[in-house]
Amino acid sequence: MSLWMYEMKKMFLLQKGLLFVGLFLVLTLASLAILDKPANPDIERNASTYLFYLNQVQGPYSEKTERFFAAEAAKISNAKVALQKASDDYYDGKMGEKEFLAVSAPLESILEKEKGFKVIYDQFTYIRENPANRYFLYTNGWEGLLANDDLDFFWLLLLLLLVAPVFGFEFESKMDALLLTVKKGTGPHTVCKIVLVLLTVAVLCLLTAGLRYGFYRFKYGLENGNYPLQSLSYFGTSTKDLTLLEAYLWITAGKLFGSLCFAVLILFVSICLKKYAVTLFLCSAALLLPYYGLRLESSKYFFPGPLGFMVSTGFLRGNESKRNPFKDQMDVVFREVSLTAWSVVFAVTLCLSIGMLIVIGIRRTNVWSARKPVQVRRASRLMLILCLAVSVLSGCTSSGSTGTSDIYNCSSRQSFENERYRFYVDDTDLENIRIVFEDKNSGEKRNFIRNPMPSLTRVENTIYGNGSRVYYMKYDFDKSGFMEKVARFSVIEVDTTTFQEKIVFEKKLSTDKSSVLGLVKVSDHDASFYMAIRSFFRDEHSLYFIGQNEIRRVNRRTGDMRVILRLPAFTNVAFDGRTIYYANEKSQVVKYDTKTGSETVIPDLITRNFVLTDTELLFMNRKDRQKMYALRLSDSSIRKIADQPARG
Amino acid sequence: MVRLIPFEFRKHFMKISIIAAVLLFSALNVVKIYSVHEGNSLLSKHVTGPLWKGLYWKMYKDFGGTITDEKIGKLMAIYRPLEQQTADLTASTTHDNPNTYTGNVYEDFHFFRWCFVNPMKYAYDYKAYAQRVVNAAKDNIAFYDAMDNPYEARKNAAVAELFQGRAITSFSYTEMYQYYVQYDFSALLALLICLYGLMSVFLSEKETEMDALLLTTKAGGAQTVQAKLIASSLFICSVCFWFWLLDFAAFSVLFGSWDGASSPLYVLEDFIHASLNVSLGQYAVVSALVKTAGILVFGLAFLLLSSLFRNALIPFIVGLSASFGCIYMAEVYMGSGRVLLKLVNPFVLVVNRELFRKAEFVALWGYPLPSYVVALLLSAVWGAVFIGGLTIAVRKNTLRKGGGKRVFVDV
């Protein structure tokens, strides 16, 4: 068997390299499949309308685009006004049904695209800042692929597992000295090992890069690779003149170079120190400590070593700064790496790697050391390696489910009544607006929130009730710096028989990286949604949050969030435990089945103001001068309740 | 066995590599603390410019110490006009205004607001806030008794007792403690050194195949294992205390103040609901002890891992992954109200501000136990499990029976 084959067999079979590679690939794919979330989820949620607009403006910015956006914005706002007017005319009897349908249909189709237009308009405002190198394109694919500087922890572990035993295995079994005495045991053997390691690392690195590329191409699509890099906001201020595809290739090349350097570092340390533990310790510390320890994100790119190259997206980022709250100035949070700085870092890293390879070659010769290495020499060697490493561093279940559910009306989200108590928001004292409950028998009024420690917590004045269980939502804050920051959103269930509280849903909202190592990342899009929740209700498995003009369903267990309904402004929403009722743009009341996802328009019911009860839907009839009517839910019969038009 | 402990300690931990790593990591730690100061402190020239520091200490002479009405009046006499001048954002933005302390009226406003008025107001108001908490808790006791919920009644009684008599009587410079209690990087350094140092405790003898030979000696079995465990614990404690001491010293020197040590823990606004009635100085000691306990649990896990394998490769990687897994979970549940899920992770002892920043309780047979007690108990359980696993995993000089092919003499 040739030396190559034997070394490969040793590396992949005897040292279980193949198993680790397989495990790494499975974990990488699984983490991509499970953890990957679109960079801008609003694009995916409004894919069809967003793409409708994108197809018209894709590419560079021009005056035509500017005119297009101005015209489209005017078109949408005019359509809103026109539809409202047409509805008013129709319900007031000034317009026939046929004419109304003819007028409203095209207006509705315009308004359906409103949310998608808002998403692309945000992109437009970004591009308008610097139209020369910012193009319109579908960004989620490229953002997912390029816009992060996360260190691949699994990749780091795989490299340690594969490379450390290459020489370490022989030192451990004391075969190293024996090998030096055989014909091919010195130079050729060492070269074979090094080349095999470098080849393996290169192939795996390219394979991983290819896998990621394939994943994002398959999931989102990676079109328009010839557009400038600055089209992605992550690289918005970069001065590098690259296309997206070129950037990907450079980043991959950087990762390849960094990984090869890291492999050489592992080989070097394992040859010098001959022990697994110290090799693994030094090499992992050389990457992890500067990665987590440096204050400025960009610092790691200015120091020679494998780390900067292994997360090489930062080499392509531009200067970024944030406003200093105390002085009228901007503080740098990311400093762009110039081409000169990059060249110096690259050259020094390359020289260090070549130097380490030379030392490996020298140490694997069979020139017998004439004298026993004295302690001082060993210490100085260790210090040298530690200093080298440090130079790189110093660079450095629904228990309450009863099957039936109380009716929820968004319009009465600040009150709820069960058999024993009445819960409502007491705003008689404007400086102390709070949720209270009143005992129906005694009339005694008490605070509903019993937490005796209210500081650093904000309870929202909205409740949802179902039988004896009443729910409220709160935000927790932390004040670790001098500013108070929101940390967490929670929905709390109160069992009103004993007033025992239980958390039914929690979401971390803190987006800063200061907590321990900053391993858990929170999407800004998600955080801003949770901060804008108006009201909520729940069923057995999910929570439904009413945000700005939409309802989102969040799975309580997985946290998976989906937009299920778009709502016009100032509409009511009601929920009976399974069906959501809401009024659409045309003031028709629509029933949405939460189990099947189907929508049904209730015929002959035109209103914006309605209240759902157990048996009826009470509404102000738009077709009869806002007089109060009731729709019986069992047989859909409608009856007039009051002959006087309702006010307010 | 007592003589074995220093021997084991010397053998495994008095290595040049470990000492060098401790020294180099210490240097790195100081650099990191320096960067924390430069990036966050209101008195750092990177954050607020060169003038604030000098001005702060000058003003501190007037306003520091016991809070009196006279001091408050004097401070407000400076602050109120600044507040009025800057309220409508029409004041001059020039930086050469001779009637100001910093040259700019807005900067003056920010200086007094963040450095003196806000912290002094918090300190002054705290007594009333604590009394409100006590009243609310006492009201809750009666309420929950009426609701037949004895656990909540007991919990509120504990809260009332904890907050009873709380007050902040003096104003001191506490910025150092504000960032000291949030600082975790040294824990990562200590964890890495322990991971490395402890790998060799059981493996060095396996590598040289001395483990079989040791079993034949008089003190080679359980006594050696005990000596190794004690020596390892000593090592972990020494590394931890060195880093915690270094943290404290570096923070004190860089932030330039030893003041505040006698102020109560709740003087830090993030600890407004602190679960302990201790001073900041005492908290630094308590926190160091609890952190050390946390690293000890991880150390025992590393020892167990290393005893299961013949070389350090897999145990090191598994230990590193497990540590990062625990850090990840600690971050997921940081600030969470799901207290038990937070406490079951031994890393919560390392990031122990989670245990002390808010009075949280866990129900045990209807009685509220403070979260830090539960965290310590759970970590003790983890430690016992790891020691138990270790005693099972280490090689023994007994004849193992259990059927034909499995019988072998382990000598």
Which distant-in-sequence residues (6+ apart) come within 8 Å of A382 by Cβ? A273, B16, B17, B20
Residue of A277, A478, A497 lying closest to B312 (CB–CB): A277
Residue of B133, B270, B337 lying closest to A503 (CB–CB): B337
CB A54 within 8 A of CB A136: yes
Smallest Cα–Cα separation from A453: which of B144, B164, B136? B136
CB B180 within 8 A of CB B251: yes
pLDDT tier for residue B402 given thresholds of 50, 70 and 90:
very low
The answer on A348 and A269 residing in a single domain is yes
What pLDDT score does B411 carry?
37
User: CB B24 to CB A284 under 8 A?
Assistant: no
What pLDDT score does A204 carry?
96
pLDDT at residue B399 is higher than 70: no
pLDDT tier for residue B410 given thresholds of 50, 70 and 90:
very low
Residue percentage of chain B with pLDDT more than 90: 62
The answer on A29 and A45 residing in a single domain is no
The answer on A203 and A160 residing in a single domain is yes
- By mean pLDDT, which of A29-43, A284-298, B163-177, B217-231 is the weakest? B217-231
What pLDDT score does B407 carry?
42
The answer on A383 and A325 residing in a single domain is yes
Question: Looking at CA atoms only, how far is residue B401 from chain A in angstroms?
Answer: 30
The answer on A65 and A11 residing in a single domain is no
Average pLDDT over residues A451-477: 91
Q: Which domain holds residue A503?
A: 408-566
Q: Which residues of A touch B196 (CB under 8 A)?
A: 277-278, 280-281
Tell me, yes or no, if A449 comes closer than 8 A to chain B by beta carbon. no
Tell me, yes or no, if B363 comes closer than 8 A to chain A by beta carbon. no
Q: Which residues of B touch A383 (CB under 8 A)?
A: 20
Q: Give the A:B interface size as CB pairs under 8 Å.
A: 195
Phi and psi based region of residue A625 (left: phi greater than 0; alpha: psi -120 to 50; beta: remaining):
left
pLDDT tens figures, B40-62: 888 888 888 888 888 999 999 88
The answer on A508 and A633 residing in a single domain is no
pLDDT tens figures, B237-248: 999 999 999 999
Angle, helices B4-13 vs B222-255, to 10°: value is 60
**Tokens 């020489």, residue?**
A167
pLDDT at residue B148 is higher than 50: yes
The answer on A27 and A93 residing in a single domain is no
Whether A453 maps to a domain, the answer reads yes
What pLDDT score does B256 carry?
82
Tell me, yes or no, if A278 comes closer than 8 A to chain B by beta carbon. yes
Both structure tokens of B61: 């002479």
* DSSP H or E segment with residue A601: strand A599-606
| A497: Cα separation from own chain's centroid | 39
CA distance A53 to A55: 5
Q: Which of A175, A176, A280 to mutate to test the interface with B (most CBs of B within 10 A)?
A: A280
Average pLDDT over residues A591-614: 86
Sheet holding A535-538, edge to edge: A535-538, A542-546, A550-555, A561-566
Residue of A161, A278, A499 lying closest to B147 (CB–CB): A499
Query: Into how many domains does chain A fold?
Result: 4
Tell me, yes or no, if B125 comes closer than 8 A to chain A by beta carbon. no
Nearest CA in chain A to B359: A453
**What is the ipTM score, two decimals?**
0.88
- By mean pLDDT, which of A606-610, B345-349, B401-405 is the weakest? B401-405
User: CB A453 to CB B38 under 8 A?
Assistant: no
Whether A300 maps to a domain, the answer reads yes
pLDDT tens figures, A370-393: 444 445 455 555 555 555 554 544
3-class SS at A446? strand
Residue of B24, B47, B312 lying closest to A390 (CB–CB): B24
User: CB A288 to CB B330 under 8 A?
Assistant: no
User: CB A328 to CB B140 under 8 A?
Assistant: no
Q: Which residues pair with A619 in a beta bridge?
A: A610, A629
pLDDT tens figures, A73-115: 999 999 988 988 888 888 777 888 788 888 888 888 888 888 8
pLDDT tens figures, A196-217: 999 999 999 999 999 999 999 9
pLDDT top residue among A646 and B308: B308
Tell me, yes or no, if A527 comes closer than 8 A to chain B by beta carbon. no
Residue of B48, B192, B316 lying closest to A326 (CB–CB): B48
**Tokens 């398959």, residue?**
A218
* DSSP H or E segment with residue B202: helix B185-207
User: CB B110 to CB A326 under 8 A?
Assistant: yes
pLDDT tens figures, A475-533: 999 888 778 889 999 999 999 999 999 999 999 988 765 577 888 888 888 888 899 99
Which B residues, 60 through 89, put their C-beta within 8 Å of a C-beta on chain A? none
Secondary structure, 3-state, A15-51: CCHHHHHHHHHHHHHHHHHHHCCCCCHHHHHCHHHHH
The answer on A45 and A33 residing in a single domain is no
CB B177 within 8 A of CB B257: no
Whether A401 maps to a domain, the answer reads no
Whether A400 maps to a domain, the answer reads no
Residue percentage of chain A with pLDDT more than 70: 92
The answer on A530 and A460 residing in a single domain is yes
Between β-strands B367-370 and B361-364, what pairing exists: parallel, antiparallel or unpaired? antiparallel
Number of CB atoms found within 10 A of residue A68's CB: 15
Q: What integer best gives the mean pLDDT of chain B?
A: 88
pLDDT at residue A149 is higher than 80: yes
The answer on A346 and A281 residing in a single domain is yes
Whether A573 maps to a domain, the answer reads no
Q: What integer best gives the mean pLDDT of chain A?
A: 85
Question: Looking at CA atoms only, how far is residue A426 from chain B in angstroms?
Answer: 18
pLDDT tier for residue B290 given thresholds of 50, 70 and 90:
very high
The answer on A389 and A244 residing in a single domain is yes
Average pLDDT over residues B335-361: 92
* DSSP H or E segment with residue A154: helix A153-172
pLDDT tier for residue B219 given thresholds of 50, 70 and 90:
low
pLDDT tens figures, A416-448: 888 889 999 988 888 888 999 999 888 888 999
Q: Which residues of A touch B332 (CB under 8 A)?
A: 508, 520
Q: How far is CA A548 from CA A530, A545, A598, B224, in A?
A: 10, 10, 22, 67
CB A567 within 8 A of CB A552: no
Residue percentage of chain A with pLDDT more than 90: 39
Nearest CA in chain A to B142: A450
Average pLDDT over residues B134-148: 93
The answer on A272 and A175 residing in a single domain is yes
Tell me, yes or no, if A487 comes closer than 8 A to chain B by beta carbon. yes
Both structure tokens of A472: 């409220």
What pLDDT score does A122 carry?
92
* DSSP H or E segment with residue A583: strand A579-583
What pLDDT score does A378 carry?
55
Q: Which residues pair with A458 in a beta bridge?
A: A475
- By mean pLDDT, which of A50-64, A233-247, A595-609, B245-259 is the weakest? A595-609
What pLDDT score does A387 carry?
53
Question: Looking at CA atoms only, how far is residue A81 from chain B in angstroms?
Answer: 37
Q: Where are the domains of chain B?
A: 4-40+174-406, 65-171
pLDDT top residue among A375 and B333: B333
